[in-house]
Each structure stands twice: as C-alpha cells, then as structure tokens.
C-alpha cells in the first residue's frame, strides 16, 4: 500500500473515531461523505480496467499474490476488530467495516487471480476481478448511503 493511501486510510479511521462523539446529524453528514469516498476505489478500478482493455497486459502473478497475501493479513485483522461494531454508530462504523471487509475480499480475489494468471497466462482474470471489486465497492457505498439517510431521518424526528 502506498504511503499516501496509508495516510488516507489512517485519517479516515481517526475521523470516524472522533465523529462517533458528534451529533447524529453530523455523523449522518460524514456517513454520506464516506459513502462517496467508498466509490473512489471502484472508480479507480474501472479506470484501470478500461486501460487494460485498451492495452491488455498480464500482471506478474507472484508479486501480485505475495503483496495481496500480506495485505490480506492486515485487512483481516481490521475486519475482525470492526465486525463487532458494524451495527453500532450507524453509517460511520458501517463504512469502516464495509471498507475493511471489501479489502479482505479483494485481497483474497487478488491472491486467487495471481494463481490463476500463473496457470492461464492471461490478463482476463485480473480484469474480471477488477470489475467485481468495483461492483462490491458500489454496493458498499449504497449501503452506507442508506444508513446515513436513515440517521438523518432519525435526527429530524
């Protein structure tokens, strides 16, 4: 994971932790923003998929699988920690949990794609996984958006 991405993830985690003490209305606003933020990896994946369609390339399977395996260990630990809180705190903890869960599923997929790519020698498995990751992130964004909408409704009652 790049240094910039690590800083962004840490910043969002700290923001979520601080925001848990905010009013329901402000938490709902942040939850809405986080729903949009969950779309960013999906959009980046779609852009990468488009580029791969234009210039097909087969990724190096071993580094792909090794990097994903290391990330999987870290993301799995985070997902287990966050799983206990996924239904507490509304959209914020939901966003944190879904983000960690999506990272775990993506890492598992990348490890498998690395092995499949080594066997078939094609970039298609990587492309298909990328589209699946984009869809998964879009669904998580929809889920967090709905949770934030429900929080706003509760705050206005």
Each residue of 58-97: pLDDT tens digit?
888 888 888 888 888 888 888 888 787 776 667 888 888 8
How far, in Å, CA of 113 to CA of 123, rounded?
9
The total number of structural domains that make up the chain: 1
Residue 120 structural domain = 3-156
Q: What average pLDDT does range 132-149 have in this prediction?
A: 89
Taking the model in full, what pTM does it have? 0.77
Q: Over 90: is that where the pLDDT of 108 sits?
A: yes
Rounded mean pLDDT of the chain? 82
Decide: 107 and 72 in contact? Cβ < 8 Å: yes
- Residues 29-65: tens digit of each pLDDT: 888 888 888 788 778 888 888 888 887 778 888 888 8
* Distance, CA of 9 to CA of 17 (rounded, Å): 12
What six digits make up the tokens of 148? Answer: 């934030």
């Amino acid at each position: 994971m790049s240094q910039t991405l690590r800083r962004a993830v840490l910043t969002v985690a700290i923001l979520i932790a601080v925001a848990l003490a905010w009013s329901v209305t402000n938490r709902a606003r942040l939850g809405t923003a986080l729903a949009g933020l969950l779309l960013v990896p999906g959009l980046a994946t779609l852009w990468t998929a488009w580029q791969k369609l234009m210039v097909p390339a087969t990724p190096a399977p071993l580094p792909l699988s090794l990097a994903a395996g290391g990330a999987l260990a870290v993301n799995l630990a985070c997902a287990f920690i966050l799983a206990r809180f996924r239904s507490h705190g509304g959209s914020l903890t939901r966003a944190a949990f879904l983000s960690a869960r999506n990272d775990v599923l993506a890492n598992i997929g990348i490890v498998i794609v690395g092995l499949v790519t080594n066997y078939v020698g094609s970039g298609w498995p990587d492309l298909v996984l990328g589209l699946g990751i984009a869809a998964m992130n879009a669904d998580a964004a929809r889920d967090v958006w709905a949770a934030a909408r429900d929080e706003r409704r509760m705050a206005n009652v």
